[in-house]
Amino acid sequence: MGVNLDLLHALNAFVSGRDAVEDPVSFYVQASQLLFASLVAAVFLVGGRRGARGAVAALAAAAVALALGQVLSHLFVEQRPFVTHPRLVHALVPHAPDSSFPSDHATAAFAIATAIWLRRRLVGAVALVLAAALAVGRVAVGVHYPGDVAVGAALGTVVAVALWWPPLRRVTDAVADRLYAALRAVVPVRART
């Protein structure tokens, strides 16, 4: 077995059958999309103008990174570990047997977390920890190889940093400023920068 499979097997074997670990990890992995969507909404709604800019940049980064991830998944088709190694890897959450490379969840989570971190350091740091926990969790529940989540994390991070480039940042900031102004017109919001 290679390092990729060894790490997967070690995590999956540790989590599998230990309800005190398996249940929270499985729950978090399945609830992560809602968690990150809620985080983006909260940052937009209560983070002031800078938070709104981070939320819009997070959505843009996630969209671009996921689109690039789809291209990669068609170029480098990789079966899910529970499909390739059914006796070695236990899928602890329900999942379609589609391509596992790169991890969409890790891609989006790191794109969102990095974009927020670039504008709101404390919230972004928490989001990065949550993204890392999600990446490890996706491997632990047997739906990704470590390389899948590592490439997804790198892709999401690189796209978020690329959108920090001033000409692109001006575009996302302009969209965020308009949306934030519209929000303030509808709901009184304490001005923050």
Confidence check: pLDDT of 192 > 60: no
Which of 95, 111, 177, 105 has its CA nearest to residue 136? Answer: 105
Tokens 């729950």 locate to 27
Confidence check: pLDDT of 83 > 90: no
Which of 88, 123, 104, 74 has its CA nearest to residue 11? Answer: 88
Q: What is the pLDDT of residues 21-51, one digit of tens each?
A: 888 999 999 999 999 999 999 999 988 899 9
pTM above 0.75, yes or no: yes
Among 80-89, 122-131, 141-150, the least confident range: 80-89
pLDDT number for residue 189: 54
Confidence check: pLDDT of 190 > 70: no
Among 63-77, 82-96, 106-120, 131-145, the least confident range: 82-96
pLDDT number for residue 117: 97
Alpha helix segments (H runs only) across the chain: 3-15, 19-46, 48-75, 81-84, 104-117, 121-140, 146-162, 166-186
Question: What is the mean predicted confidence (pLDDT) over 57-62?
Answer: 97
pLDDT number for residue 70: 95
pLDDT number for residue 57: 97
DSSP character for 119? T
Is pLDDT larger for residue 2 or for residue 113? 113
Q: Are 49 and 192 in contact (CB under 8 A)?
A: yes
Is pLDDT larger for residue 22 or for residue 116? 116
pLDDT number for residue 103: 94
Is pLDDT larger for residue 58 or for residue 100? 58
Domains and CATH numbers, the chain: 3-186 (1.20.144.10)
